[in-house]
Structure 1
Amino acid sequence: MHHRIHAAYHQAKFSRSRCAWLFIDDVPIEEWLNNHLEYPDLDLNGLSLMWLLDEEEDALAQRRFAPAEDGTSTPVPLLVCGDDMDFDCFVLMTEQVIDGETLHWRRFGLSVSSGLEVGITTRWDAENRSISFPLAEFREALEDFYRLMKACEK
């Protein structure tokens, strides 16, 4: 079963204003993950593609989110601590796998490594909670996200 993913404006709980955001099945990503994973208060965390204070960490998040080649696996930082907005605090990771025309988030866990090594060492959940998206829809959601983000900056 494929889930839907798209980009739109959203005001996260920790934010003072609306900004570009990703949604899964029409629910903001942090709220969707909070409802489907067993981590407390995920809905208080921020999307790693937004507001990372370190430019190198920001670039790393964008590179890891971008779908790689078919048959590859990439550790992707999804959510970060809304107070710190960096990779040195809480970072929820997913293993992003490309399988033909489908992008899977195979498993979730917490990064044990920090900074530019985020996700290199990850404490993966014992329970596998994979979710899948049509690859073309995921790419379109990322393109829309970056377009909305640029519009916010003006």
Structure 2
Amino acid sequence: MNKISTKTYKNTFSKANFYIIEIDNKSLEDIILESQTDIARGLVPTLLNWLDNPLEQKVVWERTLPSINEKLNLPILMCSEDIDLWCTLIIVEVEVKGNFVYWNKFGIENSDAVTPQEIGKSINWFLSSPSFVFDKNNYINVLDEFRLRLDENIDYTPKHKEMVEDYKL
């Protein structure tokens, strides 16, 4: 079983704090880039309150937790330059079975989507894709940390007064 968590970093350019997703104490971006060397660094979670388009935000949040035995294609990491679902977009297939959430495989969005709802219809799944299993409560707690900050007035403050490092692009 894997452990999902957040970690606070500071954006090198804006100096604003933000969360990254960590799995077993390693950033999701690093995990993806280990096997996908053609993708540029600078991917950030789509769960951040940075998406300006409410429809894009709605699509992301509707796909975070499928019904039991349902699979959904969740946009999970996006390009930090454009901060939308139309640039580099990493998708994860999410499935819930009992008290566990499965991230089965990862890929890159490859559709000619015109609307946010069409995102995830055509995905180039990575040949060497990691998969993860999370305790459902652990997963929901992490979603709740992001959800609390959807109100832009709430900062991504570090937990337990940890030191906030600049995020290296």
Unaligned runs of 5+ in 1: none
SS at match of 1:104: strand
Unaligned runs of 5+ in 2: 157-169
- Alpha carbon RMSD of aligned pairs, Å? 2.2
Q: Does residue 158 of structure 2 align to residue 152 of structure 1? A: no
SS at match of 1:56: helix
* Alignment partners' CA distance in 1, 2:136 and 2:105: 17
Q: Does residue 122 of structure 2 align to residue 130 of structure 1? A: no
Q: Does residue 26 of structure 2 align to residue 21 of structure 1? A: no
How far does residue 74 in structure 1 lie from its aligned partner after superposition?
0.3
Q: 1:103 aligns with which of 95, 101, 108?
A: 101
SS at match of 1:152: coil
Over residues 48-95 of structure 1, what are the superposed CA-to-partner deviations in whole Å (9 max), with x where a residue is unaligned? 112113111012111111x12111100000111111111111111111
How far does residue 102 in structure 1 lie from its aligned partner after superposition?
1.2
- Is contact 2:101–2:136 with CA below 8 Å preserved after alignment? yes
The match for 1:63 is 62
Q: 1:86 aligns with which of 78, 84, 87?
A: 84
The match for 2:144 is 143
- Is contact 1:10–1:19 with CA below 8 Å preserved after alignment? yes
* Alignment partners' CA distance in 1, 2:78 and 2:9: 16
Q: What is the aligned length?
A: 150
* Alignment partners' CA distance in 2, 1:40 and 1:6: 26
How far does residue 7 in structure 1 lie from its aligned partner after superposition?
2.7
TM-score (ref. length: structure 1) = 0.83
Over residues 98-135 of structure 1, what are the superposed CA-to-partner deviations in whole Å (9 max), with x where a residue is unaligned? 11111111111111124411111111123342111111
How far does residue 40 in structure 1 lie from its aligned partner after superposition?
3.4
| Identical-pair percentage | 20
Residue type at the aligned position of 2:107? G
Structure exhibiting the larger radius of gyration computed from Cα positions: 2
* Alignment partners' CA distance in 2, 1:62 and 1:13: 27
- Is contact 1:75–1:119 with CA below 8 Å preserved after alignment? yes
* Alignment partners' CA distance in 1, 2:13 and 2:109: 21
